[in-house]
């Protein structure tokens, strides 16, 4: 049996840049995943009942890329290692399918955002070169 924890609303679970290796499954309540840029919070995702977050910490030895805080009183399951996650999946095979779908959707959304930003970047470069009629140097590359 995996440990659970009850966390009051508006409580920070972890912060961007921290290293704890814990994945969470929301049993009840909700969690906001966000980044803070110059004192302004930007929501990346809202995680609700039976969804999960923090899974990258199980697989990567890198600091957290975002922060997480509860948006209501929340009950979470804690998974503290790959071994625990693998055992949980063996005991709950339907979760494995759900996890694959969710992670696939998250990857597709990230790809869409990356393509959008690349298109914006390329349009800006084209605008700069058109407006000046001169070569523009971007990241040591002459355009």
Averaged over successive runs of 10 residues, the pLDDT of the chain (143 residues) comes to 95 95 96 94 94 91 94 97 93 90 89 89 83 60 52
**Would you give the end-to-end CA distance of the chain in angstroms?**
59
- Burial profile 12-46: b = 16 or more Cβ within 10 angstroms, e = fewer: ebbeeeeeebbbbbbeebbbbbbeeeeeeeeebee
pLDDT at site 113: 87
**pTM for this one?**
0.78
pLDDT at site 133: 61
Cα-Cα-Cα-Cα dihedral sign, residues 112, 38, 65, 141:
positive
Residue 75 to residues 20, 22, 50, 88, Cα–Cα distance (Å): 19, 15, 10, 17
Only one residue has tokens 């805080």, namely 69
* Partners of residue 43 on adjacent β-strands: 34
pLDDT at site 1: 84
Q: How far apart are CA 45 and CA 63, in angstroms?
A: 18
């Amino acid at each position: 049996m995996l440990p659970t924890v009850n966390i009051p609303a508006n409580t920070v679970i972890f912060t961007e840049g921290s290293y704890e290796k814990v994945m969470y499954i929301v049993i009840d309540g909700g969690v906001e995943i966000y980044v803070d840029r110059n004192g302004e919070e930007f929501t990346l995702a809202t995680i609700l009942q039976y969804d999960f977050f923090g899974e990258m910490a199980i697989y990567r030895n890198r600091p957290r890329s975002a922060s997480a805080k509860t948006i209501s009183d929340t009950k979470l399951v804690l998974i503290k290692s790959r071994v625990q996650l693998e055992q949980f999946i063996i005991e709950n095979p339907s979760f494995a399918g759900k996890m694959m779908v969710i992670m696939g959707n998250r990857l597709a959304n990230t790809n869409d955002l990356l393509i959008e930003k690349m298109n914006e970047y390329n349009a800006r470069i084209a605008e700069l070169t058109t407006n000046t009629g001169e070569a523009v140097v971007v990241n040591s590359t002459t355009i």
